[in-house]
Structure 1
Amino acid sequence: MRDTTQTQTMQAVRYTTFGERPELVEVERPEPGPGEVLLRITASGLCHSDEVVMSFPEEGYPYPMPMTLGHEPAGVVEALGEGATGVEVGDAVIVYGCWGCGVCAMCASGREQLCLRGMVSPGLGRDGAMAEYMVVDTARHLVPIGDLDPVRAASLTDAALTPYEAIKKVLPHLTGGSTAVVIGAGGLGHVAIQLLRQLTSAKVIALDVGEEKLAFAREMGAHETVESNADAAARVRELTDGIGAEVVLDFVGIDATGATAMAAVQVGGAVVCVGAGGGSAKVGLLAAPYDVEVRTSLWGTRASLLELVGMAKRGEIRIETQTYPISQALQAYADLHDGNVRGRAVVVP
């Protein structure tokens, strides 16, 4: 890494022009204000949500421009702003990315991701972690990781937290002899497979496109794999004696996967729509299995992130990573866009 201590500038990957790809630029190194914490970034995970952010039209764009991307940060505490407490310089941490108001009913219950006044996040409203340094609004949003590898720990903040929260919501359906379907075994889905194996006795069926991705799903613990196509739901029913799966988790979120999810779930089962692909699942008394539960799931709580850190320390889950130096961050985004990443892409400044 370049020595930036004298120049007071740093490299950052920023979304600067509507409709264009991000750029690697030189910007002023931030300084922490009162109560804030400056992190030296050790790893920053990439997410398809970044692609969604860069696809929004200019009219009504919800975030400031330009903006440094990256909402899966790991780092080391570099400096504390005036009055900041709870961490020490040199602490290794990851960042809980859901920054709510802290006072509404949702935040008071710990669900800052559902803040009634509007959540912001690094890389999704504030300058993020795809840089050499970033500022965190409060030490309350930092989670110590001890000696965990920051490259693998960074994506616990989303790639693990999002499926973990989604699975916890439907655990009552996943009793002995049950089946769970994971649609999309990529950045989030490959962690979902591991979590399902750790948390339940359910048979896990993974759907994806191409033998390489299906083999990856089996490596992560899927009992069965099915090509994600127009026949996938029928194949799931064959594997479940004709009744369908108790739970279907859609980590893609396009119309086609929504239709597959609704066709693969059994009567009284549950579908969780997690992927931000812009599609939907058709729900109605005569358009879906009777008494089916259909819900969305957004990110997760800080308490859940603490639980995941504990699981990672015990080796119960691991995030497969493909690393890039910050000088190749734009290639990382291209690989993510083209579906050429095994697990999670992580930029290491």
Structure 2
Amino acid sequence: MRAVVFENYEQFPSLTDVPKPEPGPGEVLLRVAGAGACHSDVSVYRHFKEGQPGAQKPPFVLGHENSGWVEALGEGVSGRVEVGAAYLVYGPIGCGHCRKCARGQDTYCENAATMPYLATGLGRDGGMAEYMTAPAHHLVPLGDADPVAAAPLSDAGLTPYHAIKQALPHLAGGGRNALVIGLGGLGQIGVQILRALTGATVIATDVKPEALARARENGAVTVAGGARQVEEIREITGGRGVDAAFDFVGVTPTIAAAAASMAQGGRLTVVGIGGGTHEFSFFTTPYESYVTNTYWGTVEDLWEVVDLYRAGQISPDVERFGMEDALEAYRRLEAGEVSGRAVVVPGQK
């Protein structure tokens, strides 16, 4: 079968033929409907070096945002998994035995350092292929919803959802304001989730006019990046600042802009893994506000994301590529030429 393979560190992936996988005990075989191309993939093959924390040993098939139809069941799989039905795949894979994994928090597995991989498509063969395997208990049913458009939800939907869900107490009540910085695949869905879950005014900011226009279509008040960015955000809030900010970029300037936009008692969640840093000062930090971070989300969160998707409350902006154009999807992603999310569709010519 055809697959996009991470062959070696600091090397662009290859499109090649690999053996069709077989499901092991507790696993299922899926015919892939769609696989999202993520900037995390770019970090895997472009930036990580051997032995670096977070680096995953090659070779393996990329793709950690996956959906598909169950084709076969591995040993011991029965019950709710239906052959032929469409499912979204929860990517993180923990040890399955620690307290975090018992709560569906595989991303925070207490034994992650002993695991041979982080997730499907991150150390273990992923979904940038015609077929993939996944643990049966990591499947979320999609019903009759479009599985191709759903594929990015397993990261680009799950990650902002988890961050926003943790911040909901800060957005409860009238007159609240939320800030979204970075309107790529995650930020655009983040705007939709905030509109679906809260009554807050959603302020969205980016440097790309087309990204700002898309956010306005989804109900956000937009501010262009630039010298007056923070000033304009504060003007929208009547000078008080935002109650919750979500930085989907994570570089030092975006974290600084978010921090400067905060109200007293606010919560700033850095979601983007841009490597930025934040400097604390008692005299400039709003009282009882704090900076935190989140990583991916839980299995329970993903079920709730799918509920929003099936109800029509969130809709990923998807650009589809056939398997033979998968490498072009990654080239365009690296060049910043993809708006929304690039999804590789093996069945598309």
Give the TM-score, by structure 2 length.
0.93
Q: How far apart are residue 243 of structure 1 and its match? A: 1.8
| 8 Å CA contact retained: 1:112, 1:301 | yes
2:296 is the alignment partner of 1:299: yes
Aligned counterparts, 1:22-171, within 5 A: 22-54=13-45, 55-60=47-52, 62-86=55-79, 87-118=81-112, 120-136=118-134, 138-171=135-168
| 8 Å CA contact retained: 2:58, 2:123 | no
Calculate percent identity across the aligned residue pairs: 50
Please give the secondary structure, in 1, of the residue aligned with 2:192: helix
How far apart, in 2, do the equivalents of 1:208 and 1:335 lie? Answer: 19
Please give the secondary structure, in 2, of the residue aligned with 1:77: strand
State the AA in 2 paired with 1:57.
K
Match of 1:260 among 257, 260, 264: 257
Match of 2:228 among 227, 231, 242: 231
> Residue deviations 1:218-253, cap 9 Å, x none?
11221x111123431122112112221111100011
How far apart, in 1, do the equivalents of 2:124 and 2:208 lie? Answer: 37
Q: Which residue of 2 aligns with 1:216?
A: 214
How far apart, in 2, do the equivalents of 1:289 and 1:335 lie? Answer: 40
How far apart, in 1, do the equivalents of 2:157 and 2:210 lie? Answer: 22
| 8 Å CA contact retained: 1:159, 1:188 | yes
> Residue deviations 1:122-149, cap 9 Å, x none?
111211100111111x210111111110
Q: How far apart are residue 34 of structure 1 and its match? A: 2.1
Q: How far apart are residue 191 of structure 1 and its match? A: 0.7
Q: How far apart are residue 215 of structure 1 and its match? A: 0.6
| 8 Å CA contact retained: 1:265, 1:271 | yes
Please give the secondary structure, in 1, of the residue aligned with 2:204: strand
State the AA in 2 paired with 1:333.
Y
Q: Which residue of 1 aligns with 2:322?
A: 325
How far apart, in 2, do the equivalents of 1:265 and 1:282 lie? Answer: 14
How far apart, in 1, do the equivalents of 2:18 and 2:245 lie? Answer: 44
How far apart, in 2, do the equivalents of 1:283 and 1:324 lie? Answer: 44
Equivalent pairs counted in the alignment come to: 338
How far apart, in 1, do the equivalents of 2:227 and 2:280 lie? Answer: 19
Q: How far apart are residue 109 of structure 1 and its match? A: 2.4
| 8 Å CA contact retained: 1:181, 1:245 | yes
Match of 2:196 among 170, 195, 198: 198
RMSD of aligned Cα (Å):
1.4
How far apart, in 2, do the equivalents of 1:330 and 1:287 lie? Answer: 46
Q: How far apart are residue 334 of structure 1 and its match? A: 1.4
Q: Which residue of 2 aligns with 1:275?
A: 272
How far apart, in 2, do the equivalents of 1:62 and 1:193 lie? Answer: 31
State the AA in 2 paired with 1:39.
L
Q: How far apart are residue 287 of structure 1 and its match? A: 4.6
Please give the secondary structure, in 2, of the residue aligned with 1:299: coil
Please give the secondary structure, in 2, of the residue aligned with 1:188: helix
Q: Which residue of 1 aligns with 2:246?
A: 249
Query: Any unmatched runs of 5+ in structure 1?
Result: 1-9
Q: Which residue of 1 aligns with 2:178?
A: 180
How far apart, in 2, do the equivalents of 1:33 and 1:123 lie? Answer: 17
Please give the secondary structure, in 1, of the residue aligned with 2:42: helix
How far apart, in 2, do the equivalents of 1:113 and 1:20 lie? Answer: 26
How far apart, in 2, do the equivalents of 1:108 and 1:286 lie? Answer: 42
| 8 Å CA contact retained: 1:258, 1:282 | no
How far apart, in 2, do the equivalents of 1:230 and 1:132 lie? Answer: 47
> Residue deviations 1:282-337, cap 9 Å, x none?
23423522211211011111111111211111111111100000111111111111
State the AA in 2 paired with 1:241.
G
How far apart, in 2, do the equivalents of 1:133 and 1:322 lie? Answer: 21
| 8 Å CA contact retained: 1:52, 1:276 | no
| 8 Å CA contact retained: 2:9, 2:44 | no
How far apart, in 1, do the equivalents of 2:219 and 2:342 lie? Answer: 20
How far apart, in 2, do the equivalents of 1:99 and 1:14 lie? Answer: 20
